[in-house]
Amino acid sequence: MTEKNDDYPSLKVLTINNHKGGVGKTSLSKIITEYFLRKGKRVLGVDIDPQCNYSARFIEMDSSGSPPIHPNFDPEDPDWDTLKYPPPGYWSISELFKIGYVEPYSTQYENLKFIPSHKTELQEFLDQVEKINREEEVINLMRIIFMDEYYQEEIDVVVIDTPPQASSLTASAVRAATHLLIPTEMQEDSVLGMADMAQLWETENRHRLGARLNLVGILPTKYDKTSAAQRNTLEGLMDEKGYFHDKLISPPMRYLQTYANSSSTYANPQSLFEMHDNTAAKIEAEKFCEVIFQRVFNDE
């Protein structure tokens, strides 16, 4: 059973992160989001990766990586001009960090709200933060915002997709999290990235005064069981003498083309879980997603 979080009495915040790119974070974010919806949870998706691929699955982004005009945008609203940085008709995660407020978008799923990324604004903001030394303020901001009554009452779980680079934005996603999931390939550089994340998890918990950050686990991704090197790496991590043996999630997410196909913006069907019941990737994903679900919601 996980500790109750005084800041979030009922809200769960799952951050998916590895400091190594290409390990399947975004595909996994999409799949987990869809699985939580299937389990009846009210989900908020948050994309802090400037590549915007998680956003594009649920929001109609334009070709420049910008979100669409928000349905609630009213240029005649006098309150609009009172904002420190009035957004140009849309909301993105950049606005959350700039002004401490953002309006999530509705999606094609009734129980899914979404805060999209922005391809250029997010990187520009990060560059500015580093110049004026606002890192600590940014790191704490997302956690403070999720304490708001709206998120506590209207959302059951937040899923945050992160970029691979270590920055104040990824640190903010970890600081905001109640739960951390680390996907990793069974390759040396990915495992090193996983070890960096595990160290970040421990460091974060040393600084927390309240409930600890729960490590949901480590999910092997793009796993090829025909590769002797990958099998050996996985077996090494599973060794009972190893530090991570009780954190591994099974089954691994194998290297299957179906995952890439289902993550495409124009995939048909859009969700992996809408595919035929005998689809290997669907069967596999249902198993590891259920493990993740139980570890996130095991105190209910």
- What is the pLDDT tens value at each position of the chain, 300 positions in all? 555 566 888 999 999 998 878 888 999 999 999 999 999 999 999 999 999 999 999 999 998 889 999 998 877 777 766 666 656 688 999 989 888 889 999 999 999 999 999 988 888 887 887 666 678 888 999 999 999 999 999 999 999 999 988 888 999 999 999 999 999 999 877 787 788 888 889 999 998 888 899 999 999 999 999 999 999 989 888 876 667 778 899 999 999 989 888 877 677 788 999 999 999 999 999 999 999 999 999 855
**Which region holds residue 130: left if phi is over 0, alpha if psi is between -120 and 50, else beta?**
alpha
CA 268 to mean position of chain CA atoms: 23
How much is the pLDDT for 82? 67
Residue type, 289: C
- 55 lies in a domain? yes
- 179 lies in a domain? yes
How much is the pLDDT for 81? 65
Q: Domain of 272: which CATH number?
A: 3.40.50.300
How much is the pLDDT for 209? 84
- 3 lies in a domain? no
Report helix angle 188-207 to 168-176, nearest 10.
60
- 232 lies in a domain? yes
Structure tokens at 86: 């009035």
Mean pLDDT of the chain: 88
- 2 lies in a domain? no
- Between the two ends of the chain, the Cα-to-Cα distance in Å is 9
State how far the alpha carbon of 166 is from the alpha carbons of 23, 66, 162, 174, 197, in Å.
15, 23, 10, 11, 10
- 1 lies in a domain? no
Residue type, 248: L
CA 22 to mean position of chain CA atoms: 14
Residue type, 37: L
- 272 lies in a domain? yes
Name, in order, each residue with C-beta under 8 angstroms of 204's C-beta and a sequence gap of 6 or more. Answer: 174, 175, 213
- Domain total of the chain: 1
How much is the pLDDT for 292? 98
How much is the pLDDT for 101? 86
- 6 lies in a domain? no
**Domain span holding position 56:** 12-296
State how far the alpha carbon of 155 is from the alpha carbons of 21, 30, 59, 117, in Å.
29, 17, 18, 19
